[in-house]
Amino acid sequence: MLVLQEIRENREKVIEALKKRNLDAEGLVNSILDADSIRRAIQTDLDNIRNEANLIGKQVGALQREGKRNEAQELMNKSAALKERIKELTEQLKEAEIQLRDILLTVPNAPAGSVKPGKSAEDNEVVAQWGEPLQLPDDAKPHWDIARELDIIDFELGVKVTGSGFPVYKGKGARLQRALIQYFLDYNTRAGYLEVQPPHFVNEASGFGTGQLPDKEGQMYYIERDGLYAIPTAEVPVTNFFRDVILSENELPQKLTAYTPCFRREAGSYGAHVRGLNRLHQFDKVEIVVISHPEDSYRILEEMVDHVAGLLQSLKLPYRILRLCGGDMGFASAMTYDFEVWSAAQKRWLEVSSVSNFETFQANRLQLRFKDSNGKNRLCHTLNGSSLALPRVVAALLENNFDGNRVKLPEIVAQYAGFDSI
């Protein structure tokens, strides 16, 4: 959630930033400031009347001690009227605060200064590329055919047990999943990330804290009886570890990594682009999360990008890095880099990681703060990234390393899996 004081003090700057998302930025900001003006006017009236009521209370006591009962009674009658007015204004203030909050919740994060305006993925900027994309003939087997031929992933069995988007990994396919998870976690912990194992379900407050609610409730699986949501990513529970926490400045940054299954309804997804492992309702992912000092967050963002790049290079997968335009960024992000690996048989790029800086947007919802050297409580910056999401990594590994008979695994993966080919 945007910081209200920032909107008040930097109205034009916020409007220009939000325009990058193709929004009616001026209308949104004006609606926020109008609602805030109404709220502040009610608060001022309420404070004035409370002060008047307190003063009358003192005067009544003095008059009663002096035996001036009639004068005291007149003031008591006035005090009773003020109390009724205080009650009315308190209700009005509550309604004004709810209205202001409801408007703020509809407004996405303001993109950072270097983020370019744009409408969709076509306007994203390729900022780096590594490796030469493998060129295969048009009849090259896609990963779903390779997996079926090698009997390592059973898509039909998953449909039988649950439904589409829930594959079953078998034999070396299951071992490959386990090996990749272990390698990704080890890679992250060697870089200073603390491994944690969070819950796979969260309450509404946690979904709100990281911005999934109320923006993405339709994309999350919900258990109505218990009021719990299946997590779409480890970002949600891990970042919420710090909800309502005040850190000391020397405790920053906090760096954590976690493996979890991820659950996404992906409502409305259909077509060839969702075949096989391209888009699933349940998948495995290793996440990195950082809680940062505001002055360090963009340096840390670049470090996280370099970290994910090194991981993909160790897998020998050609990739490219995109800096997303304002129109393609997530609701809570101030800046996002996407990593895409080359799918040789599908002849297209597949996203395997997003690395984002949310600045104070999540921290404001979470009330996640730190105490600076002057003793002042300030909002932290939050960041996260996929390191990595498994399905499309596996898809690229299968397609890029299949020779017609077997899949040759990259050396580091073979070390963790205990076999060098499938």
Residue 355: strand pairing partners: 337, 385
CA distance 207 to 230: 10
Beta strands in 57-124 (DSSP E): none
DSSP code per residue over 119-171: SSGGG-EEEEEESPPPP--TTPPPHHHHHHHHT-EEHHHHHHHT-TT--EE-T
β-sheet bridge partners, residue 335: 357
Tokens 């590329």, residue located? 129
233 is in an annotated binding site: yes
In the block, residue with structure tokens 């105490």: 371
Is 386 within any annotated ligand binding site?
no
Q: Is the four-CA dihedral 127, 400, 417, 165 of positive or negative sign?
A: positive
Report whether 353 belongs to an annotated binding site.
yes
Q: Is 44 annotated as ligand-binding?
A: no
Residue 399 among known ligand-binding residues: no
- DSSP secondary structure of 208-258: HHTT-TTTSGGGS-EETTTTEEE-SSTHHHHHHTTTT-EEEGGGPPEEEEE
In angstroms, rounded to a whole number, what is the distance separating the alpha carbons of residues 316 and 112? 32
Residue 241, token pair as written in the block: 């570890």
Tell me: is residue 352 an annotated ligand-binding position: yes
Contact 173, 147 (CB under 8 A): yes
**Upper half-sphere CA count for residue 324 (Cβ side, 13 Å):** 24
**DSSP classification of residue 415:** H
User: Do the annotations mark residue 351 as ligand-binding?
Assistant: yes
Mapped onto helix, strand or coil, the DSSP state of residue 75 is helix
- Owner of token pair 């409801």: 102
Rounded CA separation 316/131 (Å):
8
Is residue 354 part of an annotated ligand binding site?
yes
Q: Which residues are annotated as a binding site?
A: 233, 264-266, 287, 351-354, 384
Residue ranges for the known binding site for ATP are 264-266, 351-354
Annotated binding residues for L-serine: 233, 264, 287, 384
